[in-house]
Chains A and B, each alone.
Chain A
Amino acid sequence: MRARIGEYTARATESIRSEPGVRESVTGATLAFDRKRRNAYADIDSDHWRHWAEAVKNHTLTHLDDYLTQAEERLEANGAHVHWAADAAEARDIVTTIADDGLVATAVKGKSMLTEEIDLNPALEAAGIEVLETDLGEYILQLLDEPPSHILGPAIHKSLQQVRDLFADRLGSAPDGDPDTLAQAARRVLRDAFIHAEMGITGGNFLVAETGTVALIENEGNIRLTTSLPRVHVALVGIEKLLPRMTDLAGFLQLTARAATGQPIGCFVSLIQGPASQPGDDGPEEVHVILVDNGRTDVLAHPHAWEALRCLRCGACLNACPVYRQTGGHAYGYVYSGPIGSVLDPGLLGLHEAMPLPFASSLCGACFDACPVRIPIPELLLEWRREAQEQGLTPWKERAALAGLASVATRPGLYRLAGRIGARLGGTGAARALPMLGEWARDRALPRPSRRTFRELWREGIE
């Protein structure tokens, strides 16, 4: 997906002012997700499990070469094909080549952020392959030709009425259908596609090294069908998705579901190790696992940002984030939005490409409390801000203002004088001419300074 992050502030502002329905839908959905997540955490010793998950992920990331090699050996022993993709273009080429070799005309897809990241669908369509998204939210967005706005609930920015209108128009369903009726309308289209598709494409939540197992969590059953009905299954897995052992997977399946949706475990968990072992068995004839780097080794080498590679793509930080809630994901301009996007995107794309996302946060810390693998998102945002300052990527007026503050604040006499002037000026219209207060006053009344500073009150004596 081509990143268009630079206009974040303008897009967010526009969205808040002209699309109140998006804010309403996103706020409602994320608050509900976040409430479920909190309840699900409260049912377990979540601090213990989050520390455990952090430690397992850290161990895996620091031994990634070993575990990747082990996973490749196991997968091949299981009869799966393993491919390595250094970047998005290589990943796309591998998939289209597999499709070409297998005479694939139609592919069905499970929800995968990685396939959005590498822009897979347009490449397949350009190769003459029909692609159908089978996750209900992704299917809605495919009909609308929109990117997902949330890692987990790609269409959470849509209202029920918008989906009704869309399905009435495109699928001929009742214009006042309830959610079940709408799901049935989509199911009729999707069932047919599952039966006829030659290829199923998925991501992978985890890849277990000791057994060569791709684990997929879902609630709709579409991934189960995508991985079992078509003749060829292709799983695209980011190289950071490794876990050492099956026993680790047992913990992560539960923690991911609790963080993502507040469930004790996903409704469907598919464990894919390879193709059907003999003709007549259930399952695909060919299984391909594509291990995708696409910037991840650069992130791993970064002194701070590597911690973001623990990410499980559960979306808990988006649900907890009051900044994300005002706009949803589209304003961010890239597939990974919200708090995790603001720390991951600078690593994957380069800081310059990801500006101003490290600044799109009030540093409230709700994301860290929600994160199942304890990614210190507020601290990472600060690290990216520091790098942005060092690279001169912030407005010079802002840098000058902060340098000025430091000069004044280390000279008490000057500080007192500036404070008195500011206090006299602050309540008047003249304050709007000051760079910061002008921005402030667009959306808020000007602050009212105290008539006398505390310092003055202190000198007069406080009774």
Chain B
Amino acid sequence: MNVALFVTCLADHYFADAAADAVRLLRHLGCTVTFPEAQTCCGQPAYNAGRNAEALRMARHTIDVFDAADAVIVPSGSCATMVKKFYPRLMEEATALSERTWELGEFVVRRLGVTALGDGLAGRRVAIHQGCHALRELRLESEPAVLLEGVGAEVVPWEADDECCGFGGLFSVKMSAVSAAMADRKLDTLPPVDWVVSGDGGCVLHLDGRSRARRLGIEFVHLATALWRGVSQDNGMTDRNLANATDRSAATPTDHSAGASAARDR
């Protein structure tokens, strides 16, 4: 399957290695990955600030850039939401791209139907920070946990896992003290874990920034990196087996185990 990576401006500059891991993961799952180099920012900062004219210009640019792609994979729930949910509010013509755009974990579970990727994270205790857009706009409620458990990690319950971290883009600088207090609520309730895993770089920049300012020593890992480590450290699975599991038609979110466990057991 041919997929185009929409790396997002944040991941391009702050999570380059995680974005590279997303490429490795997608290739491992049998995808041919392209990277249209004219891509820039999805425009969400302008959209969330109420600057629709600017947001529209960036949306048009992005739509042009990904015009030829069969599927567009975004390693960020928030930027994926911008394309999938907010672009169509800005312009009707965006629907065609919206329907072909997937958040990384969403694509792996719902489109490829893969959930068991290996066991490279066996023995790892992880907590999941659910990005708000992934959770409440895309309704990716179980996908991150299913995938992380699918690489052997132990997902530790976190009472604040579905609460907003307080990033909110411009909000984090306009109302910095409120935003930081929201991060503290998350950090102060975190159970003992090896990693906090999130599919959203924006949230991680903010949570990690707050955690480092308070010298809490928490390690944050992007979902793409966590999954790739889970795959690449696994010896019990061959690439050929996995290739067989790819490109099946979209599985429902509750019916996510069949194809993957078959690939694993074969």
Instruction: Please give the residue numbers on chain A whose beta carbons come within 8 Å of chain B beta carbons, in ascending order.
Output: 9, 12-13, 16-17, 23, 27, 322-323, 325-327, 356, 358-366, 368-369, 382, 384-389, 394, 398-399, 402-403, 405-406, 408-410, 412, 415, 419, 422-423, 426, 436, 439-440, 442-458, 462-463
Contacts and interface: CB of A to CB of B under 8 A. Distances in A.
B240 interface: no
- What 3 pairs across the A-B complex have the smallest Cβ distances? A362-B168, A385-B50, A444-B209
B205 interface: yes
Nearest to A331: B178
A322 B182 contact: yes
Contacts of A13: 176-178
Contacts of B163: 322, 364, 366
A366 B132 CA distance: 8
Given A326-B182, A388-B50, A449 B14 contact: yes
Contacts of A447: 14, 205, 208-209
Interface of B: 7, 9, 11-17, 19-20, 23-24, 35, 37-41, 43, 45-55, 57-58, 60-61, 132-133, 136-137, 163-164, 166-168, 170-183, 185, 205-206, 208-210, 212-213
B12 A419 contact: yes
Nearest to A365: B136
Contacts of A444: 180, 183, 206, 209-210, 212-213
Secondary structure dominating the interface of A: helix
B48 A382 contact: yes
A399 B166 CA distance: 22
A455 B177 CA distance: 34
Given A325-B185, A406-B57, A410-B61, 11 more contacts: A359-B171, A362-B166, A386-B50, A402-B54, A412-B38, A440-B173, A444-B209, A444-B213, A445-B210, A447-B14, A455-B37
B132 A399 contact: no
B212 to A, nearest CB: 4
Contacts of B208: 445, 447
A36 B133 CA distance: 24
B127 to A, nearest CB: 17
Contacts of B48: 363, 382, 385
Contacts of A323: 166, 175, 178, 182
A350 to B, nearest CB: 17
Contacts of B205: 447
